[in-house]
């Protein structure tokens, strides 16, 4: 990819996306892992699914891939936007006020945990995010 990028065939961003796609693991088997996989891949998920299907067709994994593809399809139909592009439920300032923490790594970690809980399907509203923070799960990393 570096050679293609350096030769001007790919932009730096496109080369990074291609590398991310090539490094993408197979379609996971559990819903939680599928949600995280989809979120991490973002708009690359269709290509990653196709790559996994092509890889499966070369071996004897095609039936398993088809089952996982059906699960991914159902998950996307039900929660696609909330997984791929979750809305921002809380601002950094709101989290700072509620937890009494300054800007810095702890704030970033709390916001990341809120986002992860959204992607996992455990919270979907601002009220749920606030309750998640109040319960201590967002600040301690507990689930």
Mean pLDDT along residues 20-42: 91
Q: pLDDT at position 140, please?
A: 43
Q: Return the higher-pLDDT residue of 6 and 114.
A: 114
pTM for this prediction: 0.79
DSSP sequence for 26-69:
PPPSSHHHHHHHHHHHGGGHHHHHHHHHHHHHHTT-HHHHHHHH
Residues 6+ apart with CB under 8 A from 109: 139, 141
Give tens-digit pLDDT for 69-122: 999 999 999 999 999 999 999 999 999 999 999 999 999 999 999 999 999 999
């Amino acid at each position: 990819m570096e050679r293609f990028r350096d030769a001007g065939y790919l932009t730096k961003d496109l080369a990074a996306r291609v590398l991310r796609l090539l490094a993408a693991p197979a379609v996971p088997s559990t819903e939680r892992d599928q949600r995280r996989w989809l979120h991490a891949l973002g708009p690359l998920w269709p290509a990653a699914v196709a790559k996994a299907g092509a890889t499966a067709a070369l071996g004897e994994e095609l039936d398993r891939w088809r089952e996982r593809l059906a699960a991914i399809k159902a998950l996307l139909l039900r929660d696609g936007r909330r997984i791929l592009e979750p809305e921002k439920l809380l601002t950094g300032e709101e989290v700072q006020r509620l937890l009494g923490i300054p800007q810095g790594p702890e704030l970033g970690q709390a916001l990341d945990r809120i986002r992860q809980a959204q992607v996992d399907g455990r919270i979907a509203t601002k009220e749920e995010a606030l309750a998640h923070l109040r319960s201590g799960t967002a600040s301690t990393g507990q689930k």
